[in-house]
Structure 1
Amino acid sequence: MGKSLIRTFPLFLFFTVALGLCYSILTYSISSGWNTVIDWAQIHTVGLGTSILVLSLVMWGTATWWLHKRNKIDTLYKSRIYRVATALLVSVMVGAAASYLFMVFHLDITLGRATEWVQEYPERYMFTAFLLSLFTLALILLVGETYMGGGIALLVSFILALVNHYKQIYRNEPLFPNDFIQIGQLQDVIPLISDSISITATLLIIGVIVAGLFAWYKMPKIKIGWITRLVILVPVAYLLYSFLLYDDRFTESYYEEYTSFMPWNQQNNYYYNGPVLGMISNIKLDVVEKPDPYNQTVMEDSVVNANEVFARSDDEKEKSVQPNIIFFMNETFWDPTNLDVKFSEDPMKNTRRLMEEYPSGQILSPSFGGETANVEFEALTSYSMSYINPGGNPFNHILANDNYPSVVSYLNDRGYYSEAIHPNGGNLYRRQRVYPNLGFDQSTFLDDMTYTKKDNKQFVSDRSVVKELLDTVEQQEQPAFIHAVTIANHLPYSKDKYEGGSTIDVSGEGFSPDTERQIEVYSEGIKRSDETLKKLNESIQEMDEPTVVVFFGDHLPSIGANLKAYKETGFGNEEDQKQQAKFYETPLVFLSNFEMDMKKEVGTVSPVYLAPMVADALHYETPKFYDFLEGMKQELPAFRDMIYMTPDGETVPSTDELPSSTQKILKDYQHFQYDVLTGKQHVTQELYDLE
């Protein structure tokens, strides 16, 4: 009888689902509202759940006994209809459970909030459950065994929900489809977040998976023949494809009826539609936002506009000096004294002094808390993340695939030797392919470096990177362009990050011990980077060759979950983080061992302007695109999504609030970006050729 019960286990699932539906239909017919159905179930969860469970067990046992008496168990178990019906049943159950699971993790692992969301948006919950059921059924048909396919689908949903949860915690943004390309780079990503992973939770998950595999191994399998699988899989795959890529297909009407996509606000988009529908809404074939209209005539008109407004003066002469140029991008380098806490010492006193002596200002980073490569993209190509579709990563999706014009290729044409230095693996963000495509003569990663000493638990020190770049410059007979990226200040900011702990103490009111510790550890890293910058400046001052160092931080740090440190110290919350420039401004200073033609107060600028600023300061002959950027900077010195900074330092949240002349310039800029990166390159040669 025991074996018979296991073989008829799908009947238990069927009775459970059937009783749940009976309850829902009966309650809905009486109350005419889903809220009542869910409210009553919430209040009487134990009683309702126990009743359904007991009745299901009784009905399952009775049905099994009846079938056993008539020797029908084996016939039923081998029936094709029974196996297909079981696959459909398991798919529906996994889809419903996974849909709820996504919302639980999306809403800070809170069952109550997830249930309230289901009550408020039942159609979107059921639409999501339907899509996840299709996904589960497709996996079952591919695997060929119902329980294994359902288990894999549930595990995949759990992992995606968990990743979405943690990305929101540390980046204040949801998981995008384009993030999946990073799966192949997990070996480089995991060490960066290792201290944030709970060992207990990890062991528990592994235990559940092992227990599930053991149970599956012992249970009779519900296998489906390959012919049946193929017959069903074809329409299921077509449906899944049509719902995932719904534009201009029959499925588009369902999204129009059951969703309310808001691509301009991804936080709201994922909340009001749920994370699964939110992800689907961001499946884009084009990473770069396509301007409308886009054709050769439009592009030629944009070039004419640029020529008319921003043509350089004919009497400007080129200087003979060709200095070494170093872009020194420092991981999460930011001024922690901006937080409302007291410090036992200034962690960036040397940087502050250098910023008073040399041209300096702030960078308006396109990123917060991560995605260093996106800042590199802006600094090296002079194109903006503002016109990259949500979740798009230019390094992974564009620059790794072909050659593109950049500050590297521009300086190469002037006789420079170029090298990129990154003290980590080249797989991360596919840098080992991107750097050569941008024109670098040499790419140096961790395994290639001469100096790899660490001053912390995980990462190569800033000092080692400086030694590496100085050696590289000294070894070259021709002027060198070095793009160096550091990693020492990367999270996590655990107590044991630095041997001996932090030498900086912070104090104040209103913040937790954990926040205090993380600020102290982070500030210790800034102090060490600050001392390294001082030594770098001393080194270039002793060099015989003229040298320029463009030093800047890539983005602010993620200190604590859900902006915890920023909230507790009164710096700002999630809404502030979306709209206030202070969440993206990092120090910028132009060091040199000769007099540069650049004003002392640079102000706040976007990374897209760094290359043309240096070229202009050196009086280099420049392509039309750089001339255009220099003019654009006069009207819009810094910009990113929801933050557009005017020349007087004020910010507006939308381009609609900018002067019409500035809007026109931005439209031309968008045309250039699309044409060069993913368009037909109608005007690329004209933009970059030196006349």
Structure 2
Amino acid sequence: MTNESVNNETIEELRISTIDPNAPAKERKEFPGWLYGVLFVVFDIIGVAALQIGVSQATTRVKLSNNMWLTGWGFVTKMFTSLNFVAVLNLILWGMLYVILLMLINRFWIATPIFLAVTFISAVIEHFKVSIRYEAILPSDLNFLKADAGNLMSFMPAGAQWTILLAVGIFACFVSLFVFLNHRDGRHGKLFRGDDKQSRSLNAIVRLLLIIVPGTFFTLYSMQVSTVGSWAKNFSSAMGDMPSMWDSVYDAQRNGPLVAFTRQLNPRVMVKPDNYSEETMKDVAARYTKEAKKINSKRSANMTDSTVIYVLSESFSDPSRVPGLKVNKDSMPNIRSIKEDTTSGLMLSSGYGGGTANLEYMGLTGLSMANFDSSLTSPYQQLVPSEHWTPTINQLWGAAKNSIGLHPYESSMYSRATNYKKFGFSHFYTLTGPDVISHQDKIDDSPYVSDEATYKSTIEEVEKTDGNQFLQVITMQNHMPYHDWYKNNDFKAESTTDTPLEDDEKESIETYQKGVALTDEATADFLDKLDAIDKPITVVFYGDHLPGIYSSASEDDNNSLALHLTDYFIWSNKASSSQGNEIDNADYSSPNFFVAQAAEHMDAKVSPYLAFLTQMHEKISAMEPPVVNNIQGWDRIPEGQNIYLDADGNPMAESDFDTETKQLLADYQLIQYDITSGKNYLKDTDFMQLP
């Protein structure tokens, strides 16, 4: 047979096959297993990148650090520049969810578009939430989906349709790709196949294992990653996770949205006291109801007959008390004078260079960070959003209209906007709204609103009504960093040790000193204006922590306590009968005791809860978790004994406590557990009610 006849036969066969639909078609080539593996990694990377873009593309408004990895590119490049592999950690976690989906469906070209659809939807929602509220998706948002899903459309920002269309367009391109690849793939994406019973059984076992193993890992990781000392926490830290929970967006940008989200799923709040029960809590309530009656028999005033203003002065403290530091003049002569003529002293802070919201939380609730598990990094993020009962001091003034908050910065920081609404504040005035603070002036080159401007906004709120209110004021002027902001700054600082101050440390300290002096002047003027108002007003003023600029002093562990003591005072105006009052045991305190001290200063009657805090403060003047000289991180506290100070500021050992003090501490833990983690037995009593 000639070559020509062979070719003619082949052509004829092709012609017949084309005409006859029943002719055998050429089989598609199956994709090899390794190609699925490569594509799995590619789509896992695309998924993580989409989530990262969701939090990175919105305008970043918070700039408290000069070393932020805020973009998706930096999220990747820091693997090479600083050996930080948090991007890989996100790939591992998101990849495990991807594997589970693949095993459930067993079709690569069906499971993958579902995986990407969930990713893109999450990224778009993340982008919208960051754009509108400058807040990343939090576990508490899942409660919102259940309770108020119908109002989701109201959270769409302007131009949202274009973002949605872009996401849909990109997803449609992927779907087209998957349809094409599915057509080209002879096995049509089927990962496990079996023609006989034995093969199908083996495949089922393997698929089940590939669901159980990553599912178990992901679940255990999520349950334990927020627990200090756990394998999940250690693994996450080793991969480069650096919690930044003061700012949920920065946290998600820095560590990845999935890692930031899982960290807040299951914080360990407190260990349940052995004797916790409804009967025990009734006994506790009865014990301090009796104590309240005893205290109230000697007092004549009502706290809510006055306006009370809490002023948390950002980083306010006395530079002259820093060990090894010499300053050329006093930064706070006015406040020093004010302290001499009213209730005042030093406050033990749990933070150094940070941790503002934790001090704020203690001041508003009367609860102590010393009672929480060390895994609870930030109550504002990890606890308050999920609490069913959140009793705070401002609620003593009744209706929400009587509770006002002011903070000249981002409303989303520490999730304050959400939490203040839950605390019962009717308005929370900030730079970003929805309630915008009225005065926003800054001084010279400072990037922050001045304390003078914040006080002006506060005075306006006080003068709006003849009634009495509770106002929570959080200043921002003295927030770090400090970079030679002020003109004509004649403050000088030098070391009294053998090692002189470095130039950067010296510049920071001298800039900070000038800021403190400006606060001192503004605060004195603020009190003068309150003195001229014809209604009783009491101010609780305190610095939340020292700034983290004393690198020389912090090198010596013996300076730890000195670097955790700030100034506070409780002052009343002329229209108040308590002006000039000085109470006993005021030399040292911690913010959880301020409300009880304010009641004593005002000669005001107390609730059973305030009676308890009054009695507790008589035994322990100040209490905080273990403190260190490091700038406040978000692993929060080290291991070790809580810090307890006596009336003279000397540390106390728990082993030396008398029976009454041990009983009070045990009751404190019961009270705090019931409010934060327990069944809220106290809610149904009069424990929080003023007479």
- TM-score category of the 2 structures, normalised to the smaller one: 0.5 to 0.7
Kept after mapping to 2: 8 A contact 1:396/1:430: yes
* DSSP 3-state at the match of 1:550: strand
Counterparts of 1:436 and 1:272, CA distance in 2: 33
In structure 2, the partner of 1:609 is: 593
Deviation at 1:136, TM superposition (A): 4.3
Letter in structure 2 aligned against 1:239: V
* DSSP 3-state at the match of 2:540: strand
* DSSP 3-state at the match of 1:303: helix
Find 1:513's aligned residue among 474, 483, 503.
503
1:642-661 alignment, distance < 5 Å? 642=626, 643-652=643-652, 655-656=654-655, 658-661=657-660
Kept after mapping to 2: 8 A contact 1:432/1:443: yes
Find 2:474's aligned residue among 462, 478, 485.
485
In structure 1, the partner of 2:310 is: 327
Going from structure 1 to structure 2, the CA distance change for 1:480 and 1:268 (only over 3 Å counts) comes to same
Find 1:451's aligned residue among 431, 439, 448.
439
Comparing 403-412 and 501-510, the one that deviates more: 501-510
1:337-352 alignment, distance < 5 Å? 337-339=320-322, 340-352=324-336
Going from structure 1 to structure 2, the CA distance change for 1:432 and 1:550 (only over 3 Å counts) comes to same
Going from structure 1 to structure 2, the CA distance change for 1:130 and 1:407 (only over 3 Å counts) comes to closer
In structure 2, the partner of 1:460 is: 449
Kept after mapping to 1: 8 A contact 2:311/2:542: yes
1:531-546 alignment, distance < 5 Å? 531-546=521-536
Deviation at 1:381, TM superposition (A): 1.0
Kept after mapping to 2: 8 A contact 1:493/1:522: yes
Deviation at 1:603, TM superposition (A): 1.5
In structure 2, the partner of 1:31 is: none
Q: Could you give the per-residue CA deviations for residues 255-279 of structure 1, whole angstroms, max 9, x where no partner exists? A: 9xxxxx9967799985998467999
The total of aligned residue pairs comes to 511
Comparing 353-362 and 128-137, the one that deviates more: 128-137
Counterparts of 1:130 and 1:475, CA distance in 2: 52
Letter in structure 2 aligned against 1:326: I
Compute the TM-score of the two structures, normalised by the length of structure 1. Answer: 0.63
Counterparts of 1:357 and 1:348, CA distance in 2: 15
Counterparts of 1:137 and 1:272, CA distance in 2: 15
Going from structure 1 to structure 2, the CA distance change for 1:572 and 1:323 (only over 3 Å counts) comes to farther
1:584-663 alignment, distance < 5 Å? 584-594=564-574, 595-599=579-583, 602-642=586-626, 643-652=643-652, 655-656=654-655, 658-663=657-662
In structure 1, the partner of 2:250 is: none
In structure 1, the partner of 2:397 is: 411
Q: Could you give the per-residue CA deviations for residues 431-486 of structure 1, whole angstroms, max 9, x where no partner exists? A: 22222322223322224222111114322111011001111112211123211110
Deviation at 1:330, TM superposition (A): 0.7
Counterparts of 1:363 and 1:287, CA distance in 2: 27
Find 2:423's aligned residue among 425, 429, 438.
438
1:91-490 alignment, distance < 5 Å? 133=92, 136=95, 138=97, 187=134, 228=191, 236=210, 238-246=212-220, 270=234, 274=238, 285-286=266-267, 288-293=269-274, 294-307=276-289, 312-313=294-295, 315-319=297-301, 322-339=305-322, 340-389=324-373, 390-400=375-385, 404-412=390-398, 417-446=402-431, 447=433, 448-455=436-443, 456-490=445-479
Deviation at 1:184, TM superposition (A): 8.9
CA RMSD after TM alignment: 4.8
Counterparts of 1:266 and 1:557, CA distance in 2: 31
Kept after mapping to 2: 8 A contact 1:358/1:600: no
Q: Could you give the per-residue CA deviations for residues 233-264 of structure 1, whole angstroms, max 9, x where no partner exists? A: 975564334224439xxx99xx9xxxxx9967
Letter in structure 2 aligned against 1:312: K
In structure 2, the partner of 1:530 is: 520
* DSSP 3-state at the match of 1:590: strand
Deviation at 1:92, TM superposition (A): 13
Deviation at 1:320, TM superposition (A): 6.7
Kept after mapping to 2: 8 A contact 1:403/1:437: no
Structure with bigger helix share is 1
In structure 1, the partner of 2:680 is: 681
Find 1:504's aligned residue among 485, 488, 491.
491
Letter in structure 1 aligned against 2:216: S
Letter in structure 2 aligned against 1:506: A
Kept after mapping to 1: 8 A contact 2:539/2:572: yes
Going from structure 1 to structure 2, the CA distance change for 1:284 and 1:418 (only over 3 Å counts) comes to closer
Going from structure 1 to structure 2, the CA distance change for 1:91 and 1:666 (only over 3 Å counts) comes to farther
* DSSP 3-state at the match of 2:587: strand
Letter in structure 1 aligned against 2:35: R
Kept after mapping to 1: 8 A contact 2:289/2:687: no
In structure 2, the partner of 1:200 is: none
Kept after mapping to 2: 8 A contact 1:363/1:606: yes
In structure 1, the partner of 2:255 is: none
Kept after mapping to 2: 8 A contact 1:403/1:438: no
Letter in structure 1 aligned against 2:398: N
Counterparts of 1:690 and 1:671, CA distance in 2: 21
Going from structure 1 to structure 2, the CA distance change for 1:270 and 1:516 (only over 3 Å counts) comes to farther
Deviation at 1:537, TM superposition (A): 2.1
Counterparts of 2:406 and 2:590, CA distance in 1: 22
Going from structure 1 to structure 2, the CA distance change for 1:630 and 1:467 (only over 3 Å counts) comes to same
Identity %: 20
Counterparts of 1:530 and 1:678, CA distance in 2: 40
Larger radius of gyration: 2
Letter in structure 2 aligned against 1:554: D
Q: Could you give the per-residue CA deviations for residues 601-627 of structure 1, whole angstroms, max 9, x where no partner exists? A: 611211111112112222323210110
Counterparts of 1:536 and 1:266, CA distance in 2: 48
Kept after mapping to 2: 8 A contact 1:381/1:406: yes
Letter in structure 2 aligned against 1:608: N
Kept after mapping to 1: 8 A contact 2:494/2:500: no
Deviation at 1:362, TM superposition (A): 1.4
Structure 2: gaps (5+ residues): 1-26, 46-73, 103-107, 117-128, 137-173, 183-187, 193-202, 244-258, 627-642
Kept after mapping to 2: 8 A contact 1:270/1:278: no
Counterparts of 1:382 and 1:79, CA distance in 2: 64
